[in-house]
């Protein structure tokens, strides 16, 4: 690992830190240290980083803005690659938008609306990066990334870079091929939008933002929706009907505003959140004979 760190710094890859607390890089403000934390300053430096990681056979994990993550209190072994400001370029060509994986999804939807482009209104209240949104097919208000994505540039562990089409991403509810079958890092995404009326687009975005403010606890550190909806049921409704809103374990609490959100009340550990997740699963299974699965990605040392 020391030789890898030396080479990364020698090549001026970007930020390279040892034992960086991941609580500083997740919206839930939870997470132990990464053995090695790397935030490359450009696409080219991401490629160099991945080539070196492959050369030294170091396990790796990629993160964006940490909005859909629960990181173990014990941290993450190997290298954590953060896709941040080094991947934040936006290029608009008519109704086509090419954007770096590190760009804020909320900022992108706002910027695009000002140009009179429609298709990203659903994302106006979704925190996180473009890369993370593509990776998990983020969605809300009846739409998702799969509806607008044309293709995505992916960097695979062996250093190969490949454009994958919408079809090749094998999108389904909150999932893509990158989660299981072909692990890789999203570098850039291309979206196909439509020309629309700026006032109508802005009104739709504002409505979505207001709805989130009124129904979701963004004033507390959280990771967004914790559970996938076991359609045709909705996780939040099941949890609320089970009387679990406000239930807490340690510093983790099921939000009083929305049953599908677990908030960090100030001193929560990952183990508190995991215990609360298990309690919810057990309760919903026992009451309704329904199995619910997590939407939040749980990573790190066991």
> What 3-state DSSP class applies to 216?
coil
Cα distance between residue 96 and residue 84, in whole Å = 22
Q: Where are the beta strands (DSSP E) in the chain?
A: 14-21, 33-40, 60-63, 69-71, 76-82, 90-93, 96-100, 117-118, 139-140, 143-144, 149-156, 161-165, 184-192, 194-195, 248-249, 252-254, 262-264, 297-299
Which is catalytic among the residues 104, 118, 225, 255?
225
Q: Is 174 a catalytic residue?
A: yes
Residue with tokens 């020698």: 10
Q: Is 225 a catalytic residue?
A: yes
* φ, ψ dihedrals at 277, nearest 5°: -60, -45
Which is catalytic among the residues 124, 174, 188, 255?
174
Q: Is 42 a catalytic residue?
A: no
Residue 232 tokens read as 């045709």
- The catalytic residue positions are 174, 225, 295
């Amino acid at each position: 690992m020391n030789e890898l760190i030396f080479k990364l710094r020698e090549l001026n890859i970007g930020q390279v830190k040892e034992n960086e607390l991941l609580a500083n890089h997740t919206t839930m403000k939870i997470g132990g240290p990464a053995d090695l934390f790397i935030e490359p300053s450009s696409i080219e430096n991401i490629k160099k980083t991945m080539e070196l990681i492959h050369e030294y056979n170091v396990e790796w994990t990629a993160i964006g803005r940490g909005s859909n993550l629960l990181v173990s209190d014990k941290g993450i072994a190997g290298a954590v690659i953060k896709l941040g400001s080094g991947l934040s370029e936006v290029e608009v060509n008519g109704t086509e938008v090419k954007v770096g994986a590190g760009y804020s999804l909320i900022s992108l939807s706002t910027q695009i609306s000002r140009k009179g482009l429609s298709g990203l209104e659903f994302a106006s209240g979704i925190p996180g990066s473009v890369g993370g949104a593509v990776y998990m097919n983020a969605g809300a208000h009846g739409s998702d990334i799969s509806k607008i994505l044309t293709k995505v540039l992916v960097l695979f562990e062996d250093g190969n870079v490949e454009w994958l089409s919408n079809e090749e991403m094998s999108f389904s509810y909150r999932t893509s091929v990158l989660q299981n079958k072909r692990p890789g890092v999203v570098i850039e995404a291309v979206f196909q939008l439509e020309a629309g009326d700026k006032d109508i687009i802005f009104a739709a975005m504002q409505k979505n933002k207001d709805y989130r403010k009124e129904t979701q606890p963004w004033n507390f550190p959280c990771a967004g929706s914790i559970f996938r909806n076991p359609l045709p049921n909705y996780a939040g409704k099941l949890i609320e009907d089970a009387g679990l809103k406000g239930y807490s374990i340690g510093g983790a609490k099921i939000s009083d505003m929305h049953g599908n959100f677990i908030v960090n009340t100030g001193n929560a550990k990952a183990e508190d959140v995991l215990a609360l997740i298990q309690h919810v699963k057990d309760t919903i299974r026992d009451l309704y004979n329904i199995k619910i699965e997590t939407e939040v990605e749980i990573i790190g040392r066991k």
